[in-house]
Amino acid sequence: MTPAKRSSRRSSSRGPAPVALDTTAAPEPATSLSDETSVENTPLFSSLGLDERVLKAVEAAGYAHPTPIQTQAIPLALRGRDLMGLAQTGTGKTAAFTLPIVQRLLDGPRRLRALILTPTRELCQQVDASFRKYGLFAGIDVAPVYGGVGYEPQEKALSSGVDVIVATPGRLIDHMERRNVSLDELEILVLDEADRMLDMGFAPQINRIVAGISPYRQTLLFSATMPPEVEALARKYLRRPIVVQVGRRSQAAHTVRHAVYPVPGARKTPLLVALLKEPDMDSVLVFTRTKHGADKVVRGLNDAGIEASAMHADKTQAQRNAALEGFRTGAVRVLVATDIAQRGLDISGISHVINYDVPGQAEDYIHRIGRTGRAAQTGDAFTFMAPDEIAMVRTIERVLGQPIDRVSMPGFDFGSGA
Ligand code: AMP
């Protein structure tokens, strides 16, 4: 769609943007990529209206079928509609917005036309990598912009002219203040993991950034959950959005097997050491509640002769990248992280997620275990439950709508009465 056409469409629908939950145009919500039957009935990428250069990149990525969110979102995004994508990570949501954006940028004028805001540096890097992957045959220039690293390389990239910026909000504002970037001609805005961005207190930064963007843009918002704050954000910035939902909001990835290990708090590290001796524990992501806790678990594992890295907000960006890279390549089998790694981390082949501490909120449980079982791979999610965490586990089970199996490890159990 040309900018002129888009303008006329927009001007006819001015005024406050109600979150008209226009689901009529959307196909029936699908469940999950892991549904075997859904794969058979899934259309091919070639039926979604994508250009050959985009399809070639999809083929190079090795994808056979679009995931349900891709099937629903891509044709709508290509038509220029605002979208609200309710999808947990692991559903293929990044390609669901990246592919239509790449297509919109094909053969267009060379200037900054798309901005993706992400909550964390890691997600920023991953979305940047997706643009490079899916834009392989499209000649698109993308710049990642995030904090914790020097300004100069980013300034250089921005001044050389890019089509897409993938940014965390704080660093983007720094660049705006330094006049390194202008959002004047932006056509597409994506708010990725909107719930997480609001959780992290980015609302003022988002407001400031969006205030400088033309209202005649297309806006896509993705969120794993839809608390009132995200709905308010959507009401403010989206115009007659179509809601695309994959699975129930509280649904955990289908391919994950859950288990709860009742264990006294002081026995958690020995239990972890014992479990890590199992041969199928290839690539294990361990979550702790605190940074201090993460460091302590790493020390405990190292003492037992198990190599592990910690990843949390007190680590420098270089340390975080190194930890992630070591884990991604398999050089380090165990990564111990706080919730900084909870969302957006896209590491294929994680065999196990272990909640060393029970997460404080039920929805965090779903996001954490979303790290395993991504895009139809299977994975296990184990939760260590100390006596003072029993109530929280029960809440999680209520939200999941199913009980989680209790597994007793002789010598570690505090009793099966939980
Ligand atoms: P996301 O939900 O965007 O974080 O994507 C999760 C994972 O699924 C990533 O590793 C993608 O490379 C992968 N993926 C995305 N689309 C597809 C697809 N159509 N088929 C198979 N894997 C996919």
Per-domain residue ranges of the chain: 2-246, 256-416
Which atom from ligand 1 is nearest to the alpha carbon of 58?
Answer: 19
Which pLDDT does position 380 carry in this prediction?
82
Task: Identify the residue with better confidence: 1 or 333.
Answer: 333
| Mean per-residue pLDDT, 212-219 | 93
Ligand 1 mean position, distance from CA 95 (Å): 7
What is the pLDDT averaged over residues 310-314? 86
Work out the angle between the directed axes of helices 228-237 and 203-211 (0-180°, nearest 10): 10
Mean pLDDT of 47-70: 92
* Domains 2-246 and 256-416 are alike in CATH topology: yes
Alpha helices in 169-227 (DSSP H): 169-177, 194-199, 203-211
Please give the mean pLDDT across all residues of the chain: 82
Dihedrals φ, ψ of 59, to 5°?
Answer: -65, -40
Ligand 1 centre to CA of 44 (Å) is 15
Q: Tell me the best of 67, 69, 118, 122 to mutate to test the pocket of ligand 1, counting ligand atoms within 8 Å of each CB and taking the most.
A: 67
Q: How confident is the model at residue 347 (pLDDT cuts 50, 70, 90)?
A: low
The answer to whether residues 167 and 144 touch, using CB atoms and an 8 Å cutoff, is yes
pLDDT at 109 over 70: yes
Distance 354 CA to ligand 1 centre (A): 22
Q: Give the distance (Å) from ligand 1 centre to CA of residue 375.
A: 6
Is the domain defined by 2-246 classed in CATH 3.40.50.300? yes
Among protein residues, the one whose CA lies closest to atom 14 of ligand 1: 92
Counting from 1 in the atom list of ligand 1, the atom nearest the Cα of 93 is 3
Model confidence band, residue 345 (pLDDT cutoffs 50, 70, 90): low
16 C-alpha to ligand 1 centroid (Å): 35
Task: Give the mean model confidence (pLDDT) for residues 375-397.
Answer: 82
Q: Report the percent of the chain where pLDDT is more than 70.
A: 82
Report the distance separating Cα 107 and Cα 250, nearest Å: 40
Q: Which residues contact 113 (CB under 8 A, 6 or more apart)?
A: 104, 105, 163, 164, 185, 186, 187, 188
Q: 392 vs 266, 363, 396, 400, CA distance in Å?
A: 18, 11, 6, 12
Structure-token match 């932006």, residue found: 186
Fold entry, domain 256-416:
Rossmann fold (3.40.50)
Which of 39, 45, 55, 94 has most ligand 1 atoms within 8 Å of CB, for mutation? 94
Residue range 212-230: mean pLDDT, rounded = 90
Q: Quote the ligand 1 centre to 134 CA distance (angstroms).
A: 12
Atom of ligand 1 nearest to the CA of 348: 10
Q: In this predicted structure, what is the pLDDT of residue 400?
A: 79
How many angstroms does the Cα of residue 88 sit away from the middle of ligand 1?
12
Residues 122-139: tens digit of each pLDDT: 999 999 999 999 998 998
**pTM recorded for the entire structure:** 0.61
Among 48, 54, 63, say which to mutate for ligand 1: greatest number of ligand atoms within 8 Å of CB: 63
pLDDT at residue 386, as a whole number: 93
Residues with CB under 6 A from ligand 1: 63, 65-67, 70, 89-95, 346, 348, 374-375
Query: What distance in Å separates the CA atoms of residue 11 and residue 15, rounded to the nearest whole number?
Result: 9
Q: Which atom of ligand 1 is nearest to the CA of 130?
A: 12
Residue 190 has pLDDT above 80, yes or no: yes
